[in-house]
Chain A
Amino acid sequence: MDFFTLYTILPFLSSILFLFFGTYVYLNNRKSIVNITFLFLCLATFWWQFSWFILFIIPNEALAKYLVKIGYVGIIFIPIFGFHFILSFLGRISKFDKYLLFSSYSTAIILEVVLLTTNYFINGFYKYFWGFYPRAGFLHPSYLLLLSVLVIRMLYLLFSSLKKKKIVAAIEYPQIKYILLGTIFYIFASVDFLVNYGVEFYPFGFLFILVFLGITTYAVIRHYLFGIKVLLTELSVGAMAILLLINTLVSTTYFDFFWKGIIFLLFLIFGYYLIKATHEESKRREEAEKIAIQEKFLRQRAEKLAKEFERLDRAKTQFVLATQHHLRTPLSIIKGYTSMILEGSYGKVEEKAKKALSGIQESIDRLIKLVNEFLDISQLQVGREILKKEETQIEKLIEEVVKELDPSAKEKGIYLKLEAVEKLPKMKLDRTKIKTAIFNVVDNGIKYTRKGGVIIKCQILNDKCQIIVKDTGIGLTKEEIKTLFTKFFERGKEAEKIYTTGRGIGLYIAKNIIETHQGKIWAESEGKSKGSTFYIELPLE
């Protein structure tokens, strides 16, 4: 077990760490060019360190002769892979950098050929106290030149993008910062090249690359470098595995090595399942988080839409108010003149003319009512809460309606009766609106009745207040019942004969009012000329 001395175990461990870390990064995202180029950088580093380990344990010069060049097969590519990694990490590769990268790869291949076929690059070896080490040939400095060019370019690119990203990218900025720091440490590992030129010291470059590894790991954990989210379990398992491995490698006897190795392998299996389990757990958590984020997004969207709706609704109300104002302006003037002429303010008016003027006045008032309703329709239509609810004794409202409509019923020679109502509980209603609704329904009944009359009843039924308006009028067909409460309802020919201006809009408004009170309104009829009954149902609570 004399393979592992202090001098050999360090390059061995650092090579294993790079192999492990590069593979880990790659497996986390196999499609990302950043992760792939990083894997190559790690593999080249692994190759370098591992070959040093091999070189340092070689016992005789005959073997060293063959193996001394192997390390450089990997080393040549390190600055190029590093450059490639940084280019893909920063994204947006300029033409110049593409050219530089391409020519670096070409040069590297030439150098590899030179390395393996001649002694111009590596010319034999030194034998130091810790082991064999390659001796630089006369072409070796050209490699150092290439390395310097790439290092300068990398540092320049990192510095300049750090400046640019400082303001805009909250995630990328710290990532670049740590990559830059790591790169600087990695560059310090170049101190090992001195040993190629006969300066005798133990090549401690691995210390710098271990710092590089540490910084990169930190950036992965803290700043999601390579898009990886590391779990604490993974870190602990990794650290434990490394400790067990070291423990195994420094064994003094084969027996020791054997059972420690078994423990190490068992731990690896255990660790594998542990990580797998925590991965599943974290996946579930991530999914839950994703759903929460989605929900938040949807809620924000809904809020935004609600705001937008409110804005549009306000704009519409403004429009309706303005239109209503414009329509009312000439109407109030016509109304003013007509009433004043009728009242004799402009001189004596003949009876015949008075009759005609009264006709005008009536029509104007109807028109004014329509314009007033116009606003109500547009407001109720969107179902928004514009109700001014107050404690109301509903039978009082019905009594008021009957009082107001009695003259028009009398004028037509029909009756309008309110059946004695039992005392009803107070209800929370918008007085004016509900009164309008009842008014419209009763008014409708009077309009379409020639003989007989209208009876109003009020009763409590299953926690609901039911108002029944029954007339002996022209009745309704099934088709008419279907469209009765819509905006575009037009009564049939029969209705036109009786009441030519019937528009049905009153019932539409009544329906909207009742529905905004969470109530129901419907009509029933046995058919043509058999009268109709209207039901209004309002919840007591």
Chain B
Amino acid sequence: MMRRILLIEDEPRQIEIYEKAIGEAGFKIESLKWGKDGLERLEEIKSKKKKKPDLILLDLILPDINGIAILEKAKSDSQLKDIPFFILTNYSDPELEKIGKDLGVEKHIIKTDVTPSQLVKMIKNWFKKK
């Protein structure tokens, strides 16, 4: 069965790169550009309108809301709590990193630190370990 990955990211070029790399690696990837779309998606998952993704890649700096808001909503809901999150951002605020950690984020990745294929490798390894 194909793993489903949800990317919440606003930069179109970045989306293009990640969709290509992750999609070609054999995952089913879908992207949302706005924070509120992410929140809406969580609602839809709750009401079983949409399927639960196997992993969410979450950017922190979104045009409308802070990515942390999405994370908080998911982690405070018993039905959504088990969705794993990777934070994928270029914003390296240690405070935000700590908040993410406390909320149970699986990984905190700085985008410039990894190439798309390295990211794919990290995802694959993570699924393997799981």
Enumerate chain A interface residues (CB-CB to B < 8 A). Answer: 321-322, 324-325, 328-329, 331-333, 335-337, 339-340, 343, 345, 368, 371-372, 375
Contact = CB atoms under 8 A, between A and B. Distances in A.
A226 B24 CA distance: 91
Contacts of A321: 91-93
B70 to A, nearest CB: 18
Contacts of A325: 61, 89-91
A339 B21 CA distance: 11
Contacts of A345: 20-21, 24
B112 interface: yes
Nearest to A331: B112
Which residue of A321, A324, A336, A368 has the most chain B CB atoms within 10 A of its CB atom?
A: A336
Which residue of A322, A332, A333, A368 has the most chain B CB atoms within 10 A of its CB atom?
A: A332
A333 B110 CA distance: 12
**What 7 pairs across the A-B complex have the smallest Cβ distances?**
A328-B90, A339-B115, A332-B111, A336-B17, A325-B91, A368-B112, A332-B112
B84 interface: no
Nearest to A371: B112
Interface in B46-93: 61, 89-93
Contact of B14 (A322, A324, A336, A372): A336
B44 interface: no
A329 B11 CA distance: 8
B130 interface: no
Given A332-B14, A340-B21, A345-B20, 10 more contacts: A321-B91, A321-B93, A329-B14, A331-B112, A333-B11, A333-B13, A336-B116, A337-B17, A340-B115, A340-B116
B116 A329 contact: no
Interface of B is mostly: helix
Interface residues of B, number: 21
A340 B20 contact: yes
A370 to B, nearest CB: 11
Given A345-B24, A371-B112, A329 B90 contact: yes
B61 A340 contact: no
B52 to A, nearest CB: 27
Contact of B117 (A331, A340, A372): A340
A347 to B, nearest CB: 12
Nearest to A346: B20
A324 B93 CA distance: 10
A335 to B, nearest CB: 6
Contacts of B92: 321, 324, 375
A322 B91 CA distance: 7
Contacts of B20: 340, 345
A333 B115 CA distance: 9
Nearest to A375: B92
A465 to B, nearest CB: 27
Interface in B1-56: 11, 13-14, 17-18, 20-21, 24
A368 B112 CA distance: 7
Contacts of B13: 333, 337
